[in-house]
Amino acid sequence: MAGNVAGNRTESELGRLIIAGPPDQFDELNVTGITATRAVVTWTRPFSLLPVTGYTLTITELLSSSPVPFVTVEESLGPEVLSFQASSFSPFSMYKVELTASSPGGVGPVAMETFITAESGIMIRTYMHLNSALT
């Protein structure tokens, strides 16, 4: 009688083989406390079968009132970090925030949010987007 590697055992006797990939999409990515020059980016840890080893946060200036537009900032953050205070923005300018999570299984999908900084001395509304990950 021929058998396979597992012999003649049933699936319930062997259990299931789980292949762990990269982290899932973020449930929340928020930009709060927006002023003319600052904003706070927060997120929730995405589900992952393997431990999250870190995050990559990229902030790109899309439209600016400044004479030197299109600045991009990229930060590598540790696995316990769930917020980042960004500063040195130009007043009344549009920015795009992109966030990815990494694990030994790879890099997860990109979550994205955009926001506009206030004019000097003004604080504007909070931007919050649920399930904003791009697949």
Domain map (residue ranges) of the chain: 21-130
Is 74 exposed, middle or buried (CB count within 10 Å of its CB: 0-12, 13-18, 19+)? exposed
Least confident window among 25-34, 56-65, 73-82, 117-126: 117-126
Question: pTM (2 decimals)?
Answer: 0.74
- What's residue 3's pLDDT? 47
- What's residue 119's pLDDT? 86
Q: What are the angstrom distances between the C-alpha of 71 and each of 14, 83, 90, 110, 124?
A: 54, 21, 10, 19, 21
- What's residue 127's pLDDT? 46
* Residue 98: pLDDT over 80: yes
Query: Can you read off the two tokens belonging to residue 96?
Result: 């795009």
* Residue 13: pLDDT over 60: no
Q: What are the angstrom distances between the C-alpha of 94 and each of 17, 32, 64, 83, 109?
A: 46, 14, 6, 20, 23
Q: Does the domain spanning 21-130 belong to CATH 3.40.50.800?
A: no
Query: Can you read off the two tokens belonging to residue 119?
Result: 């004019």
Is residue 61 within 8 A of residue 70, CB to CB? The reply is yes
Least confident window among 13-22, 23-32, 62-71, 106-115: 62-71
Is residue 130 within 8 A of residue 28, CB to CB? The reply is yes
